[in-house]
Chains A and B, each alone.
Chain A
Amino acid sequence: MVPWFACSAAIMFVAGLYISFFVAPTDIQQGEAYRIMFIHVPASILSMFIYLVMAGYAALGLIFNTRLSSMMASALAPTGALLAFLSLWTGALWGKPMWGAWWVWDARLTSELILLFLYLGFIALHASIDDPRRADRASALLAIIGSVNVPIIYFSVQWWNTLHQGASVKLTGTSMHVAMQQGMYTMMLAVWLYAIAVSLLRVRSIILERESKTQWVSELMEIKR
């Protein structure tokens, strides 16, 4: 399954990049810089979505004690963390020419930063517990707590921000050009497929690692040898 997702991700990336750089016209207000959005928006949305999926898998693993879903959760975490980082990075690079600042203490930005910390906490907790079953269960609990807290943090930061400074910057250009939309969707799909491919690849490694003593892996090894 992995090659299929990987190939389609690659195709989508090429198509998406083509549309975003050659087809989509220059934005009137933002100039060329808006093209960063083509990578920024998919990365941000996916980083949040992956967290939800991860917390969901973790909860499944915690409640029904299924090993595969816990492994899926731990396979998703690094990808999510990287996408969160990417979202912050591209956001900063977009913010500098647009807002004149690398960083603004806006609710969205702060939540994304916290999201990155939650991912890092999940990974660090999982990595520092030797017993894999305890690691799965402890980090699952953390993921669930985190998913409860993200909305609280989002609203509290938003509230704090609106008290501090009147006008927070909103995304401009509500009515997007068709080509822009197409570019965005294609890139979104590409990142999506990429995330699936790379997590599947990772979960395969994790399964091999964890099940190395069971029968079927050694049988697999016989075949490969």
Chain B
Amino acid sequence: MNKLSLIGLLSLVIRRDLVLAMRRRADVLTTLIFFIIVVSLFPLGVGPEMDMLRKMAPGVIWVAALLASMLSLGRMFSADHLDGTLEQMMLVPQSLSVLVLAKILAHWMVSGLPLVIMAPVLGLQFDMTTQAIGVLIVALLLGTPILSMVGAVGAALTLGLRGGGALVSLLVLPLCIPVLIFGAGAAEAVVSGTSVSSHLSLLGALLVMALIFTPWVTALALRISME
């Protein structure tokens, strides 16, 4: 009997979560549609002046992405918690952090990546320039994984609690402010002509930091929640 390597575990869990997500396609689509609807509501709310829309587009898209990622957080661990798979996951002979990282990556591919892919279309709706859209995509690519990671900590902490959905937003949203600021700031910097790279590099630094700490913290939170 062969032992499973760390990479093997990582890919096993990612593949598993992706297969599961594909068999529950409706959930994935809900997040994406929610994102599109929220972004599309803004012009209806503030009026159709193109100048203003162009200016606020990055912020709107980022806030909508933030809200959409909150929407899917509840599912991250709860299904596995309910059917006992999470218990088995805590007993993996490899580090739980790696497993958590795999779950976060899978979650991002299912709920973050579609938003990134959809964003350029929405950017065009708001009459953003091509360059600004490009920067927005890069910023979203760097930023949405952080949202998934920080969200994972919140989801793990509120595992199995009544009213967990609202609670997780209360816990996670304040912590996501830096991502929002730098993410939206990067695209806005294109418009105002200031340095884009500083925003993006700060976002990258946040990503690296989150990548190092959040899987570990999430694993700890899961252990606490499973007790």
Contact = CB atoms under 8 A, between A and B. Distances in A.
Interface of A: 110, 114, 117-118, 120-121, 124-125, 128-129, 131, 133-134, 137-138, 141-142, 145-146, 149, 152-153, 156-157, 159-160, 163
Given A134-B227, A138-B224, A125 B185 contact: no
Contacts of A137: 224, 227
Contacts of B189: 163
11 contacts: A117-B170, A118-B174, A128-B163, A137-B227, A141-B217, A141-B224, A156-B202, A157-B177, A159-B181, A163-B185, A163-B189
Nearest to A144: B217
Contacts of A124: 167, 170-171
Given A137-B224, A145-B217, A156-B177, A121 B170 contact: yes
A131 B225 CA distance: 10
Nearest to A110: B177
Contact of A145 (B153, B162, B163, B227): B153
A145 B206 CA distance: 14
Contact of A142 (B157, B162, B177, B182): B157
A134 B222 CA distance: 11
Given A125-B157, A145-B153, A153 B178 contact: yes
B207 interface: no
A153 B171 contact: no
A163 B177 contact: no
Contacts of B178: 149, 152-153, 156
Interface residues of B, number: 28
A146 B185 CA distance: 23
Interface string B152-191: 0100011001111001001101110110011001000100
Give the most central of B162, B175, B189, B227: most A CB within 10 Å. B175
Contacts, number: 73
A132 to B, nearest CB: 12
Contacts of A156: 177-178, 181-182, 202
Nearest to A154: B178
Interface string B206-218: 1000000000010
Given A125-B157, A153-B178, A160-B185, A138 B221 contact: yes
Nearest to B195: A163
A121 B224 contact: no
Contacts of B227: 131, 133-134, 137
A159 B177 CA distance: 13
B194 interface: yes
B171 to A, nearest CB: 5
B113 interface: no
10 residue pairs, one from A and one from B, having the closest CB atoms? A156-B178, A117-B174, A137-B224, A160-B181, A121-B171, A114-B174, A156-B181, A128-B161, A138-B157, A121-B170
B9 interface: no
Contacts of A118: 174
Given A125-B171, A134-B227, A114 B157 contact: no
A163 B161 contact: no
A49 to B, nearest CB: 19
